[in-house]
């Protein structure tokens, strides 16, 4: 209908009407574009908010993973300290040997965190969302992604090296499986299985190969703890920035 109107006005040489028709067409197109862009912007804001909320939950998951590992390490520190000091001083007591053997059991726990990165990876690949980041969050997001990658690589290296030098590979350390009545096989109580020294404590504390393996294992083990604590602080700071970014939306 508009085309017929334009044709008629051209035939009548009514140039003002032609200009008016042209203006109406252009204005309609511009308005349609603006409405489309506004709708897309609103849709992106909603999508970004959902992505940030998922990222926040993911960071919480990673912090929970770290807490579980750190709690395990903390729970075994008293035994580790007692066993290490007894080895260092070559001061045997039944309590010290029991603590050392419980430490050998603790050291086989999986202390390599399996960080979750699904929400992070999805958000990193969505330019339409990342373009809406504030400059502060853009920087923090990049730092967190880099930290997470570095920690995964470094912690994997520490874990692999720990096992390469692990004290439980020493020939005078052996595993046992008990069939005594009442044993329930509860690893938390060290009942049913574990590790023990095959030689008297007095010999083991002077065995350089055992001491070296023990110190190497403890070194990597505590190195993992140190890195996890440092990353925990960074992840908590990043999670605070997520909440701030959500408030800006």
Tell me whether residue 214 is in a domain: yes
CA–CA separation, 215 and 243 (whole Å):
42
pLDDT for res 79? 94
Tell me whether residue 220 is in a domain: yes
- Specify the DSSP class assigned to residue 199: S
CA–CA separation, 214 and 207 (whole Å):
11
pTM of the model: 0.78
- Please count the structural domains in the chain: 1
CA–CA separation, 81 and 249 (whole Å):
50
pLDDT digits (tens, 9 = 90+) for 134-172: 899 999 999 999 999 999 999 999 899 899 889 999 999
Tell me whether residue 90 is in a domain: yes
Tell me whether residue 72 is in a domain: yes
pLDDT for res 176? 83
Tell me whether residue 43 is in a domain: no
**Boundaries of domain holding 177:** 50-248
Tell me whether residue 176 is in a domain: yes
pLDDT digits (tens, 9 = 90+) for 36-68: 554 555 555 766 888 899 999 999 999 999 999
For the chain, give the longest Cα–Cα distance. Answer: 116
Tell me whether residue 44 is in a domain: no
Tell me whether residue 129 is in a domain: yes
């Amino acid at each position: 209908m508009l085309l017929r109107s334009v044709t008629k006005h051209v035939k009548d040489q009514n140039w003002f009407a032609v200009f008016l028709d042209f203006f109406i067409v252009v204005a309609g197109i511009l308005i349609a574009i603006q409405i489309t862009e506004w709708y897309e912007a609103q849709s992106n804001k909603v999508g970004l908010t959902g992505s940030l909320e998922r990222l926040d939950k993911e960071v919480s998951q990673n912090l929970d993973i770290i807490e579980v590992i750190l709690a395990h390490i903390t729970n075994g520190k008293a035994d580790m300290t007692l066993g290490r000091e007894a080895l260092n001083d070559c001061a045997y007591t039944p309590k010290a040997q029991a603590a050392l053997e419980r430490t050998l059991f603790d050291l086989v726990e999986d202390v390599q965190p399996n960080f979750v990165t699904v929400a992070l990876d999805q958000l990193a690949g969505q330019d339409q969302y990342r373009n809406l980041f504030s400059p502060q969050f853009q920087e923090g997001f990049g730092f967190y992604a880099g930290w997470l990658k570095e920690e995964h690589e470094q912690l994997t290296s520490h874990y692999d090296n720990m096992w390469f030098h692990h004290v439980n590979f020493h020939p005078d350390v052996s595993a046992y499986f008990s069939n005594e009545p009442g044993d329930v096989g509860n690893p938390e109580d060290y009942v049913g299985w574990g590790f023990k020294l095959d030689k008297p404590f007095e010999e083991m504390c002077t065995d350089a190969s055992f001491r070296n393996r023990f110190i190497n294992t403890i070194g990597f083990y505590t190195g993992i703890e140190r890195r996890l604590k440092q990353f925990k602080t960074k992840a908590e700071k990043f999670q605070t920035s997520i909440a701030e970014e959500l408030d800006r939306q």
